[in-house]
Amino acid sequence: MDFLRGSKSSFKFHTSADRPYCRLVEPRKILELAVVREGDVAPLEGGDFKHNNTTPPSSKSISALLSNHGKTAIVTGAGAGIGLAVAEALAESGANVAIWYHGNRKAIQRAREIEVKYGVKCKAYVSDIRQYAPVERLIDTVLDDFNGRLDIFVANAGIPWKEGTFLDGSVEHYRNVMATDLDSVFYCARAAGRIWRRQKEEGSDCFGRFFGGAGGVEFKAGSFIATTSMSAHIVNVPQLQAAYNAAKAGVIQLVKSVAVEMVQFARANTVSPGYILTEISDYVPEETKKIWRGKTPMG
């Protein structure tokens, strides 16, 4: 719950975590924000979608529409593999990028290399995305370290199921897979979505600077992207991974749902990769990988 504290003439707008981006706001403004949050943030009215929930971008330039110059992106599970490649692509498009990793400390050097190569800010942060509070705190840290805004969040972190049939695998492993591959996406979407809602309502970053001022970049809408898997759509063979498949399928329905709920201030989409040669499959026997290649048209 948000709360207020301060003198009679001015208040500081805080969240439950008492985050550092809070700034002085007049009491009248607090009431205005409360009215907007109470009445206008819901995309539905009377069971139907409100008209003009979104507006088209003003720019007609494709290069401008695809540019991420001056924006801030967070990519989870970006110490290697798909996440690292996405982080580099975002940096190449002009974004400042926060790389989140869990155990791969090579991410620290990778971030330095990206920063030098593309001339953007890039920094690595150790993270545990299996609980909500650490996710929220780390986002706040990134905003404080970077430019006070969040534009893009790529929820890419994930782990495989490694214990064979669900009948014999441990419940502890199941819980870890679900917490990492599904629960974390909810946590990241919620924490990022709350930032985007505030940015859209107030028109300013966490330091109180209005978007677009002094040559700055406007904030149109946030973009949330979650990495799922082809395993969300099919049952892979020969490996047995019921929990992984269920988690990834859950991510698709979750993100479809939050896309509706965040429609006024953010987009939400998923990507379902097939077999890709990354570190996450290092444990898989070569014989199994040969079977995978035999079921992949491009080999």
pLDDT in tens, 91-100: 999 999 999 9
Q: Are 216 and 251 within one domain? A: yes
Digit-coded pLDDT (tens) for 187-207: 999 999 999 999 999 999 999
Number of residues in the chain: 299
- 81-92 vs 106-118: helix axis angle to the nearest 10? 20
Could you confirm whether 125 is annotated as catalytic?
no
Between β-strands 96-101 and 122-126, what pairing exists: parallel, antiparallel or unpaired?
A: parallel
Digit-coded pLDDT (tens) for 145-182: 999 999 999 999 999 999 999 999 999 999 999 999 99
**Is the pTM here over 0.85, yes or no?**
no
Structure token digits, residue 160 = 């495989």
Answer for the pair 15, 2: CB distance below 8 angstroms, yes or no.
yes
What is the C-alpha separation between 91 and 95, in angstroms, rounded?
A: 5
What is the count of structural domains for the chain? 2
- Which one is catalytic: 229, 272, 289, 295? 229
For the chain, give the percent of residues with pLDDT over 70.
83
Reduce the DSSP state of residue 268 to 3 states and report it.
strand
- Which one is catalytic: 71, 123, 200, 248? 248
Q: Does residue 20 have a pLDDT over 60?
A: no
Residue 52, domain member (yes or no) = no
What is the torsion angle, in degrees rounded to the nearest 10, for the CA atoms of residue 164, residue 165, residue 168 and residue 170? Answer: 60
- Which one is catalytic: 244, 257, 281, 289? 244
91 is in which domain, residue-wise? 63-294
Structure token digits, residue 119 = 């001339």
Q: Are 141 and 254 within one domain? A: yes
Could you confirm whether 60 is annotated as catalytic?
no
Which residues does residue 27 pair with via DSSP β-bridges, in sequence order?
Answer: none
Digit-coded pLDDT (tens) for 199-254: 999 999 999 999 987 667 899 999 999 999 999 999 988 889 999 999 999 999 99
